[in-house]
A and B are shown apart, each in its own frame.
Chain A
Amino acid sequence: MLAEIRLPPASPRVLLPAAALAAMLVLIFAMEPRAMSYFGLTLLLNFALPAVFAATAQMAVIAAGDIDLGLGPFISLVNCLAATWLTTRPAAGIVALALLVAAYAAIGALIHLRRLPSIVVTLGASFVWLGLALLVLPTPGGSAPAWLTTLLAVHPPGVPLPVLVSILVGLIGWLLLMRTSYGTVLRGIGGNPRAVARAGWSLLGGRVALYAAAGILGVLAGLALTGLNTAGDATVGTQYTLVSIAAVIVGGGEFVGGIVSPAGAVIGAWIMLLTGSLLSFLDISTDWQLSVQGGILILVLGLRALEQWRAA
C-alpha cells in the first residue's frame, strides 16, 4: 500500500511543461532579443515572484486533495496589511501576518474535522479575506515598507532575482515534499489517506501542516506583490486564485490523488505569466490572452489523457 504512494510522480509530467516553457522562452527571445539580457529578464519575469509563491501555496492545498478558492483575496489582504500596518506598526503587522498563517492552518483543521468540502470553506473564507482587506484599507493607498521594496529591487550577480527565487522555491519545495519521509506522508493524505492513517500518521496534523504551508506561501506572495507594487489595493490579488490553480495543473499536478510537483508548479506559474508576454511580442491582441491560457490548460489535460489512454 505504502509502496504505491512512494512512487515518484511520472517524470513526463514535469518534462512536458518544462519543454513547453523552453519553447516559449526561445520564441520570446527570438521575437524580442532585448529580453535575453539581465535587465530584460528582470522586466519580463518581475511578476513571477508572486505568481510562483501563489502557485506553490495552491499546490500545498491540492496535495491534500483539496482546492483553495480564497487564495487571491488572501494575497490582497496580505498586500493591504503590508502596505499599512507593516510600515507604520511593524510589530502589529508581523503579528497580523502570523495570525493569518494560523487562520489558514485552522481552516485545514476545520475541513478535516468536520469533513467539509474545501471548495465551500475556502470560497467562504475568500469573502472574509476581502472584507478584512477593505477594513484595513478601504481605498487603494498606503505604502510598502522600504526594506520590502529594496529587497524586491535587489540585483543578485549573474542571475536575475525572479529567476533565482523561482529556482530556490522549486528546489526547496522539491526537497521538502519529494525527498523527506514526511513529504511522502503529506502527499499520501491526498493520495491514499487510509494507508497514511494505518501507518500511524495523523491525517489532521498533515492537513494542518499543508494548509499552514499554503498560508506561509500566500503571505510570501502578498509580500512580493507589495514590494513590486509599492502600495496596497484590496482587490489586487483576485486573479491569483485561478492562475495558481491553472499553474499547478499545467505543471503536472492533478486535482485528486495528491499528485503534485513543486518544480512543476513553478514552471506552470512561469508559463501562465509568459503567455501574455509571448502574445504581446507576437503582436496578437491581448484580448486573446485568457482564451490562450484556458486553451493551454485544456491542451495539457488532453495530452495527459491521451498518454494515459495509450499507456493503458
Chain B
Amino acid sequence: MRRTIRPQGWIVGAALAAALLLPGARAEAGAASTASDGIALSNSYAGNGWRQQMLKMWNLAAQHGIAIGAIAKTKVVNSDNSAPQQATQISDLTLQGWKAIVIDAASPTALNGVIQQACSAHIVVVVFDSLATAPCAYKVAYDYVEMGEIEADYVAKHLGDKGTVLEVRGIAGTSVDNDIHQGIVQAFAKYPGIKLVGSVHGNWTQSIAQKEVAGILPTLPKVDAVVTQGGDGYGTFQAFKTADRPTPLIIMGNRQDELALWKQLAGGPGGYPTMSLSSAPGVSSIAFWVAQQVLAGVTVPKTVHVPLLIIRANDLDAWLKAVPPGGVSTPLYGQKWTEDLIAANLGHSALPQSPIPTGVP
C-alpha cells in the first residue's frame, strides 16, 4: 500500500508546485494588461501618524487602480514591527499567488530570504520607505544623503557662511539617520565658517526632540540654526522658547504642527525664513504604480529614486490647506506621474516635482 501511495503523492505535489509557479511565469512574459492582477502591501508597522497616512495613500491609489481597471484587487497586511512575523506574512502572500508584493520592511536584512523566495516564484517585489537589501527587489528610494545636503546648504547660505548649528538626529542606528547626518556633515565641510556645536537624537518625535534639545541647550553658546530630520522641528522650537532663547532658524519637516508654526512665526516682525522637507507618506502610491508598471512589462530600473517633498515659503499656504491636523504633508501620486518618474530615472534626467494637492487627499 505504502509504495503505491508515495509516488502518487509525489506527482500530486509536483503538479501543485507547478500550478503554484505557473501564474507567476505568465506575468514574466510581459503581458501588457494587468487588469486581472493583484498587488498586496506588506507593512511592518502601523502604529504612528506617518504610517497611517501611508496606508491611507495606498488604499486611495489601489482603489483608483481598481476603478480604472489597472489591477483587480489589493490587500494590506500589517505586522507588529516584527521581522519574523512580516516574513511569515510575505510567505503567505507568496502562497496565495499575488502577482506583486510591495513591502515597507521591518528590517533591511531579515526579510531577504523570503523576498528571494517570492522572486523565485516570479512575483514582483517592490520595497519602499524602510528598504530591504535583497538584490531581486525593486527599490523605491529617497536620497537621504541629499536631504542632509539640501538642509545644510540652505542654512549655510542663509547664515552667510558664518554661525553655529545644532543638529537634531533621528533614531540611532537606522540607515535614514546615518544618511541624513552624512549629508549634513559633507555639505558643511564646504563652509569653514559654519560650526556644528552639538547633536542630539530626537527620534523623529516632537516630545523627545523637545526633551533632548532642552537638555543640551544650557551647554551651548548662541545657536543660529538647527538642522532636523522631520517630526522634530516643533519640539525643538518649544525647547528654545522654554529656555528663553531667541528662536534660531529651524528647518521644518512637513508635519502639520511644523508648518503651522512656520506660518505663525512668518507672520511676526521680520518674518521667518526657513524651508521644510521630508519624505512623503504618499510614497506608497508611487510604490503601488511602480509595481503595476513592472507587471505591465515596462522597463523599470532596480532602484527608482524619488524626489523629497520640499516646501518653500511661497508654497506654504497651499500645503497648509492640504494637510490634516496632526498629519504629514503628502500628495497622492498617480500613474502618469510615476511613469514620468520612471522615465526620468531611466534617462538620468531631473526628477518630476511633487504635485501640490488642492485639498486634503
Contacts and interface: CB of A to CB of B under 8 A. Distances in A.
Given A37-B13, A230-B116, A286 B89 contact: yes
Contacts of A238: 82
A236 B84 contact: yes
A35 B113 contact: no
B17 interface: yes
A140 B133 CA distance: 10
A36 B14 CA distance: 11
B95 A140 contact: no
Interface in B103-125: 107-114, 116-117
A30 to B, nearest CB: 14
Interface in A1-49: 32-40, 43-44, 46-47
A183 to B, nearest CB: 30
Nearest to B12: A37
B77 A229 contact: no
A231 interface: yes
B16 to A, nearest CB: 3
Contacts of B183: none
Contacts of A142: 109
B109 A37 contact: no
A140 B46 contact: no
Contact of B84 (A50, A141, A285): A50
B85 interface: yes
Given A158-B6, A286-B79, A287-B78, A35 B95 contact: yes
Contact of B175 (A44, A50, A139, A227): A139
A240 interface: yes
A281 interface: yes
A64 B80 CA distance: 31
A232 B46 CA distance: 23
Q: How large is the interface on B (under 10, 10 to 19, 20 to 34, 35 or more residues)?
A: 35 or more
Nearest to A277: B92
A255 B80 CA distance: 26
Interface string A229-263: 11111011111100000000000000000000000
A101 interface: no
Contact of A233 (B10, B80, B110): B110
B88 A229 contact: no
Contacts of B117: 43, 46
Nearest to A273: B88
A88 interface: no
A280 interface: yes
A62 to B, nearest CB: 21
A102 to B, nearest CB: 26
Contacts of B75: 283
B17 A233 contact: no
Contact of A236 (B20, B79, B110, B116): B110
Given A43-B94, A233-B108, A236-B107, 20 more contacts: A34-B20, A34-B95, A34-B97, A36-B16, A38-B16, A39-B17, A40-B16, A43-B91, A43-B92, A44-B91, A47-B91, A139-B173, A141-B108, A231-B112, A232-B109, A239-B82, A280-B77, A281-B96, A286-B79, A290-B80
27 contacts: A34-B19, A34-B96, A37-B19, A38-B14, A39-B13, A39-B16, A40-B16, A40-B20, A44-B92, A46-B91, A46-B114, A46-B117, A47-B87, A47-B88, A139-B174, A140-B107, A141-B109, A142-B109, A149-B113, A228-B113, A231-B110, A235-B83, A238-B82, A273-B88, A276-B89, A281-B92, A289-B85
Interface of B: 6, 9-10, 12-17, 19-20, 46, 75, 77-80, 82-85, 87-89, 91-97, 107-114, 116-117, 133, 173-175, 178
